[in-house]
Amino acid sequence: MADLLRGLLRHPSGRIGGAIVALYIIVAVLAHLGVTPYDPIQQFRIDRLKPPSGAHWMGTDMFGRDVLSRLMVGIGQSFLVAFASVGISAVIGTALGLTAAWFGHLWDGVVMRLMDILLAFPAVLLALLIIAVIGPGTGTSVMAIAFVYTPIFTRVVRGPALSIKSRDFVDAARTFGSSRVYILTRHLMLNLVAPLTVQVTLALAWSLLTEAGLSFLGLGTQPPASSLGLMLSESGNLMEMAPWLLVFPGIAIMLGILGFNLLGDALRDILDPKTRSALA
Amino acid sequence: MTPLLSVRDLRVGFGKGDAVKEIVHGVSFDLHPGETLAIVGESGSGKSVTALSINRLIDYGGGRILSGAIALRTRKGEALDLTQTSPQRMEKIRGAEIGMIFQEPMTSLNPVKTIGWQLEEAFRLHRGLSGAAAHKAAIEALERVRIPDAERRLGYYPHQLSGGMLQRVMIAIALATNPRLLIADEPTTALDVSVQAQIMALLAELKRETGTGMIFITHDIGLVAGIADRVLVMQAGDVVEQGPLDQILDAPQHPYTQHLLKAVPHFAGGEAVRHDFRRVDALKQRPALTVDDLTVRFPVTSGLLRRKTGAVHAVESVSFDLMPGETLAIVGESGSGKSTTARALLDLVQPVRGSFEVRGLEGKSQHRPVQMVFQNPYASLNPRLNVESLLAEPVRAGGGRLTSAMRDRMTYLLARVGLPTDSLTRYPHEFSGGQRQRLCIARALMVDPSVLVLDEAVSALDVSVQAKVLELLVDLQKELHLAYLFVSHDMAVVERIAHRIAVVYAGQIVEMGDAAAVLSNPQHSYTRRLIAAVPTIERRRERFELDTRSVPSLVKPIGYEPREASWISYGPDHKARAEELSA
């Protein structure tokens, strides 16, 4: 773990990506604790559509709400959805991938063909379909995004798991009579930590984007609560009058995705033994 | 006479900038046309790095030539310093002037192109031949390396040929341009003994025919004898000794050369077998392991519906028994079914017929009395678990808990196999190959097994490490009264450890009996062939005959049952399968 942090600090894109992600996490935590400059849903009637100033750093929106506060809460909301959905899809995807690789035959065929079908649909479209069926809301967004990204984890896990399964140390474990659970967790899972870490980081970036897209379409977070996508959608008609309404959430989404992608790239380099020596 | 290749004070390092680590510390030698220089050393001695520096392939492996000179006299007679040559020029020289044969023929050929295409490519690139001319040259090249039926084989893909055949194709490609220098980097290490003997014979004959200078890299000093004119011994990046073949083998000066020659298990035709076990006395006890009519077959399916069209008869009616304290060696080549036999005893493959019975040690836990040590110590230890977790696994699998008594047993076993006792918190990558194999042995002993299956357990180790691990195994056997099932292809190693030997060929035991009797007086033609193929220093002046016989296919149609074996007895404990005379 300490090695991982040291590696991140030494890696150029790891430094930048790590800093951005750390900043976002701090902001998200603050927002959830309620530490924002103003109440994000309180309306200051006189201060409608004010450009950025000393009192409102990022200006105010059409209801006179503080954009910075709404942005912080929006980041908090987007992160909550992203982390929850990626967490769920990582657990389910890993379990499916591991069992598919381990049992093989029919189970492998059924699971992987199902995943292929899910992957054939564009992510947002599939999420839209699910929300259209169950109805919008934060919980639905989490479930929909988790559902969409499960096949990716299944695939990422199944490949390496198949090759690890045929390694001698797994055969050795069988000769000791080790239980299936022990072999799957200690021998297979432990050796999958590296590819999974990278995949989780990258999936966080995508699900951030998917969440923003769903909210933009009005199917994710519901007003008056705040989310990055929702802020973008609300600013659409006022683009020429109050560009700050569009610019700040836009930059926040872009920077967040950039941060996770840089971090993911860095982790991939650090955890891959082939490039690790070149960086050391 | 001017040398073909003259290397002076060659230093090679890996890494960038200040972090350069020098691997080869000043190697110098001369190679004359038509001469063969053998570079001998253990892993990490810098022998391959030296060779790869000569054709500058080291540039692509992260290495760099730090200083020194490599002078090559080209076909046109000019002397070229290869350390200063441009990469573009090197591309022309590789192939045209310097040919190279790698260790793994399976991975050095492109799997999606026919061997004919790959051979013709060599002629197209370096000799400017095309179409029919290249095709004709390719046929001739295959005939030169004694591949029968050359024209048809040109259309084969690499996976359709055996390892020995592929290595011949590699040699044909390397020789396609009549290089003046051929570098062979462990060309026979991945091959079976009898195939190895054929490749060595082929190289020796080609050397006589073409007058090519050759650098032959090997870890096996016994192999050097048949081919080299001069020998250069390397240790940790330094040349410790070099000189003519006979001088190095008969009167080695440097202690390391002497050590290498002593550490290499020389095959002695049954004279070096162990005499610490008398089967007659042991027969009063019950055997530790009894195997009866063990048969393993893998179904072969074909077509869209996966219809069973036959079966690979991997192990066919194998029967033997193993007494406590006894070592039975199962000897054979790859694909003979020796490993499958071992794996069947550990439930890793399911037999279709037959049974085996294991008897645990008196008063010890009866959980899993058969344990196994695998060939590759780098693959058989989970890299993400520390030594304590690794050693605990067999006990935990049997329902045991991590108690202080168990920790005491771990430290005791670690000390017993010769590892530092503070190893418990360390991870496998912190250990060398030999240490890892000791770790595997300690792990297998955690549950007091009565039978230890050693599947090529010392084959992946350097010779001097190999000797020490064998010594450890013999000591442990005497101390713990273990029965060993020692699976190996290496006759010299088998001679050092076996009490009895079973020779397997095409899935069947063809000869079995007392080690001394089988090795000194082999009766089955396959055993004789196997023994004749063992390279030894003593037999260095013998010439190997080329043998193109192929192993019979193990794939048999459904319902095929082999004929009942009839055995001929040659002594109190020595029998061989009767052979059909038609062959």
Closest Cβ–Cβ partner in A167, A179, A191 for B397: A179
CB-based contact, A3 to chain B, within 8 Å: no
pLDDT tier at A279, thresholds 50, 70, 90: very low
Q: Quote ipTM for the complex.
A: 0.76
CA distance B253 to chain A (A): 39
CB-based contact, A186 to chain B, within 8 Å: yes
Pick the more confident residue, B513 or A276.
B513
The pLDDT value given to residue B373: 92
Write the CA distances from B267 to A267, B349, B516, B530, integer angstroms.
52, 33, 12, 12
Least reliable range by pLDDT among A37-41, A80-84, B442-446: A37-41
pLDDT digits (tens, 9 = 90+) for A128-144: 888 888 888 888 889 99
**Cβ-defined contact of A190 to B348 (cutoff 8 Å):** no
Cβ-defined contacts of B472-475 (< 8 Å, 24+): B472/B417, B472/B418, B472/B438, B472/B441, B473/B441, B473/B497, B474/B274
Domain residue ranges of chain B, discontinuous segments joined by +: 5-263, 269-322+334-358+491-578
pLDDT mean over B528-534: 83
CB-based contact, A132 to chain B, within 8 Å: no
pLDDT mean over A184-203: 89
Closest Cβ–Cβ partner in A169, A178, A190 for B380: A169
pLDDT digits (tens, 9 = 90+) for A65-110: 888 888 898 899 889 999 999 999 999 999 999 999 999 889 999 9
**Cβ-defined contact of B385 to A176 (cutoff 8 Å):** no
The pLDDT value given to residue B540: 56
Mutation choice for A interface testing from B382, B386, B401, B436 by most A CBs within 10 A: B382
Residues of B in contact with A193 (CB under 8 A): 384
Tell me the percentage of chain A whose pLDDT exceeds 70. Answer: 96
pLDDT digits (tens, 9 = 90+) for B270-285: 777 888 777 777 777 7
The pLDDT value given to residue A280: 42
**Which residue in chain A is spatially nearest to B374 when comparing CA positions?**
A168
pLDDT mean over B408-417: 91
pLDDT digits (tens, 9 = 90+) for A250-261: 999 999 999 999
**Cβ-defined contact of B447 to A176 (cutoff 8 Å):** yes
The pLDDT value given to residue B13: 87
The pLDDT value given to residue B199: 80
CA distance B29 to B229: 13
CA angle B536, B190, B122 (to 5 degrees): 110
DSSP state of A183: I
Q: Name the fold adopted by B269-322+334-358+491-578.
A: Rossmann fold (3.40.50)
**Cβ-defined contact of B393 to A178 (cutoff 8 Å):** yes
The pLDDT value given to residue B266: 73
Residue ranges and CATH numbers for the domains of chain A are 26-32+61-279 (1.10.3720.10)
**Which residue in chain B is spatially nearest to A168 when comparing CA positions?**
B380
CA distance A11 to A280: 10
CA distance A232 to A216: 6
CB-based contact, B384 to chain A, within 8 Å: yes
Residue B549 has pLDDT above 60, yes or no: no
The pLDDT value given to residue B448: 87
Helix (H) or strand (E) holding A205: helix A193-216
CA distance B344 to B403: 32
Token pair in block for residue B399:
């329902």
The angle that helices B387-397 and B404-416 make with each other, rounded to 10 degrees, is 120
CA distance B360 to chain A (A): 15
pLDDT tier at B548, thresholds 50, 70, 90: low
Helix residue ranges per DSSP H, B242-382: 245-250, 255-263, 279-282, 338-345
**Which residue in chain A is spatially nearest to B452 when comparing CA positions?**
A175
pLDDT digits (tens, 9 = 90+) for B129-161: 888 888 888 888 888 777 777 888 888 888 887
Residues of chain A by 3-state class (helix, strand, coil), percent to 5: 80, 0, 20
Least reliable range by pLDDT among B245-249, B397-401, B498-502: B397-401
Which CATH class for the B5-263 domain? alpha beta
Closest Cβ–Cβ partner in B389, B397, B443 for A177: B397
CB-based contact, B372 to chain A, within 8 Å: yes
Closest Cβ–Cβ partner in B343, B370, B379 for A169: B379
The pLDDT value given to residue A100: 93
CB-based contact, A276 to chain B, within 8 Å: no
pLDDT digits (tens, 9 = 90+) for B216-239: 998 888 788 778 889 999 998 889
Same fold, B5-263 and B269-322+334-358+491-578: yes
Residues of A in contact with B372 (CB under 8 A): 172, 175
Residues of B in contact with A169 (CB under 8 A): 379-382
**SS3 label, residue B227:** coil
pLDDT mean over B342-370: 80
Residue B582 has pLDDT above 50, yes or no: no
Residue A112 has pLDDT above 90, yes or no: yes
Helix residue ranges per DSSP H, B128-192: 131-144, 150-153, 163-175
CA distance B368 to chain A (A): 7
Residues of B in contact with A171 (CB under 8 A): 343, 348, 374, 380
DSSP states along A123-179: HHHHHHHHHHHH--SHHHHHHHHHHHHHHHHHHHHHHHHHHHHTSHHHHHHHHHT--
The pLDDT value given to residue B550: 56
CA B108: distance to chain centroid? 17
Pick the more confident residue, B382 or B563.
B382
Token pair in block for residue B86:
């441009």
